[in-house]
A and B are shown apart, each in its own frame.
Chain A
Amino acid sequence: MLSENKPLKTLTFLSILLVLLAFLMVIFYAPVELNMGMVQKVFYFHVSAAWLGMLAFLVAAISGILFLSKKNLLYDHIAASSVEIGLLFTAIANFTGMIWARPIWNTWWTWDPRLTTMTIMAFTYIAFILLRRGIDEPYKKARFGAIYALVGFVSVPITFFSARLLRTIHPIIIGGGSGEMAMTSRMYQTMAAGLVAFTLLFVVLLWQRTRLAEAAAVIDRLKAEQNAEEFGEVENG
């Protein structure tokens, strides 16, 4: 049933390759930052992960809207898969952000607006997953997921704006500064490599996960039909 999909296979291998390549670039090509040392290199994947975490949310929200208008469950599968993968990338971004903060500012957590907003976004993701889990009927699951994805997605920019505003009014002494640094061209190139690799990875993961969701849905439907048949036989027999 999950037939061999040549393009997907190729893309999967390609994405793994690109990620490894980018990693090699990080180790050997990118220069070591003067003040921060090696940990700065975490930055190259941290930024891409954060960006993709947010893109995933956008994909989920749009997919949700498409479901509400077209009623095709494929959009729900895309949305749910996007949320899962978005949670993965957001977790990567959050934890690498904390690992980066620790040696630089001597604290695991800074109430940096971006870090804060990403964490709240992660909780929105988790809420989305829990909401869908609490519903059995597929169309209702999809409907409610879409609504919550929309509401959640709209709240994120407002949260970020508020968090940033809070920061400018009350600059916190611990963990001050956003870690801006002067970047050389090599650094930009490595960043770009990381971004390309991770974006391709996101697409691949989304495609794979959606396929599995579609397959699982078909199986659930067939199972239900079979149960209905058997039950029907018992009734008649």
Chain B
Amino acid sequence: MKNWFGTLKALVWKDLLQEWRSKDMLTSMLAFAILSLFIFNYAMELDPLQRAELAPGVIWVVIMFSGTLGLNRSFLAEQEQGSFDALVMAVPDVAVIWLAKQISNFLIMLILILITLPVYSVLYNQNLFVPLFLIVLILGAWGFSAAGTLISGMTVQTRMRDLLLPVLLFPVLMPVNMAVVKAGQGVISGADFSTYQVWISILIVYGIIMTTISLLVFDYVIRE
């Protein structure tokens, strides 16, 4: 058990260290996210009240699109260097490989959220840095990275790669989209928790289901 956890930590650390050294992916994602927020300003010249209602949706869309950019890159290193085979030989338990990938993807999404939220709050003078909203986004990021890691593991091995990921991922993510936006709106408007509690349950259920399926099936993604 201790060995398993050690391997997991090592793999996650490897991915994060790789990213930190180049800072490519994270920088691009952040730039994209903040630029998108700027673009939204011109797309949504609304009065503050209407814009406040749209906030959760806008934030989530921006995070989703930036997250997709990140997912595309996350497996690219393994694919380009052909290190899938080396990795599988070093770590025979494929579930650990997947879990590590998912965790590192999730952590990167987390950083994205933690930076996008304050930026939005400043640009639009609406404090979204609310703990419960943060939790909603984090749950959404979990579902996103679970489904996303599995699917990008496949699309990175196809001819069309980057182009294919959104086409495959977004339909499957619909429940997460709906739940994040609805729960987010509930939180922001200060509504009673019971009114949007079910959406949070949906997010948790989705995360569990996608993680479980991925752990069962990822073997077929990496191994011939």
Q: Which residues of A contact B (CB under 8 A)?
A: 68, 120-121, 123-124, 126-127, 130-131, 134-136, 139-140, 143-144, 146-148, 150-152, 154-155, 158-159, 161-163, 165-166, 169
**Pairwise interchain contact A135-B157, C-beta atoms closer than 8 A:** yes
Residues of chain B lying within 8 A (CB to CB) of residue A131: 154-155, 158, 164, 168
Interface of B is mostly: helix
With A134-B158, A150-B213 known to touch, is A126 a contact of B172 (CB < 8 Å)? no
Our pick among B155, B159, B167, B175 for the contact of A155 (Cβ within 8 Å) is B175
**Pairwise interchain contact B168-A148, C-beta atoms closer than 8 A:** yes
**Pairwise interchain contact A152-B172, C-beta atoms closer than 8 A:** yes
Q: Which of B12-20, B109-117, B202-210 contacts A (4 or more CB under 8 A)?
A: B202-210
**Pairwise interchain contact B151-A148, C-beta atoms closer than 8 A:** yes
**Pairwise interchain contact B171-A161, C-beta atoms closer than 8 A:** no
**Pairwise interchain contact A162-B168, C-beta atoms closer than 8 A:** no
How far is A158 from B206 in the complex, measured between Cα atoms in Å? 8
**Pairwise interchain contact A151-B151, C-beta atoms closer than 8 A:** yes
14 contacts between A and B (CB under 8 A): A68-B220, A123-B170, A124-B172, A127-B164, A127-B167, A143-B220, A148-B151, A151-B151, A151-B172, A155-B147, A155-B171, A155-B174, A159-B175, A162-B174
Does B132 belong to the interface (CB within 8 Å)? no
How far is A106 from B223 in the complex, measured between Cα atoms in Å? 53
How far is A163 from B167 in the complex, measured between Cα atoms in Å? 20
Across chains A and B, which 10 residue pairs bring their CB atoms closest together, nearest first? A134-B158, A158-B175, A123-B171, A127-B168, A162-B178, A134-B159, A124-B171, A155-B172, A162-B175, A159-B174
Q: Which of B173, B174, B198, B224 has the most CB of A within 10 A?
A: B174
**Pairwise interchain contact B182-A147, C-beta atoms closer than 8 A:** no
Does B150 belong to the interface (CB within 8 Å)? yes
How far is A139 from B157 in the complex, measured between Cα atoms in Å? 13
How far is A31 from B87 in the complex, measured between Cα atoms in Å? 67
Residues of chain B lying within 8 A (CB to CB) of residue A139: 224
Does B123 belong to the interface (CB within 8 Å)? no
Q: What's the minimum C-beta distance from B217 to chain A, rounded to whole angstroms?
A: 5
**Pairwise interchain contact A163-B221, C-beta atoms closer than 8 A:** no
**Pairwise interchain contact B221-A144, C-beta atoms closer than 8 A:** yes
**Pairwise interchain contact A158-B202, C-beta atoms closer than 8 A:** yes
Does B160 belong to the interface (CB within 8 Å)? yes
Q: What's the minimum C-beta distance from B76 to chain A, rounded to whole angstroms?
A: 16
Does B64 belong to the interface (CB within 8 Å)? no
How far is A161 from B182 in the complex, measured between Cα atoms in Å? 14
Q: What's the minimum C-beta distance from A41 to chain B, rounded to whole angstroms?
A: 31
Q: How many residues of B contact A (CB 8 A)?
A: 33
Q: Apart from A131-B155, A154-B213, A162-B174, what 12 extra A-B contacts exist at CB < 8 Å?
A: A68-B220, A121-B171, A127-B171, A131-B164, A131-B168, A134-B155, A134-B160, A144-B154, A147-B220, A150-B213, A151-B147, A165-B202
How far is A59 from B92 in the complex, measured between Cα atoms in Å? 32
Residues of chain A lying within 8 A (CB to CB) of residue B168: 127, 130-131, 148
Residues of chain A lying within 8 A (CB to CB) of residue B209: 154, 158
One digit per residue, 1 when the CB lies within 8 angstroms of any chain A CB and 0 when it does not, for chain B 163-200 equals 01001101111110011001000000000000000110
**Pairwise interchain contact B220-A163, C-beta atoms closer than 8 A:** no
Q: What's the minimum C-beta distance from A185 to chain B, rounded to whole angstroms?
A: 38
Q: What's the minimum C-beta distance from A75 to chain B, rounded to whole angstroms?
A: 14
One digit per residue, 1 when the CB lies within 8 angstroms of any chain A CB and 0 when it does not, for chain B 143-155 equals 0000100110011
How far is A73 from B157 in the complex, measured between Cα atoms in Å? 20
How far is A140 from B178 in the complex, measured between Cα atoms in Å? 33
Residues of chain A lying within 8 A (CB to CB) of residue B158: 131, 134-135, 144
Residues of chain B lying within 8 A (CB to CB) of residue A158: 175, 202, 205-206, 209
**Pairwise interchain contact B220-A126, C-beta atoms closer than 8 A:** no
With A131-B164, A158-B206 known to touch, is A148 a contact of B174 (CB < 8 Å)? no
Q: Which of A126, A127, A146, A152 has the most CB of B within 10 A?
A: A127
How far is A139 from B198 in the complex, measured between Cα atoms in Å? 41
One digit per residue, 1 when the CB lies within 8 angstroms of any chain A CB and 0 when it does not, for chain B 20-44 equals 0000000000000000000000000
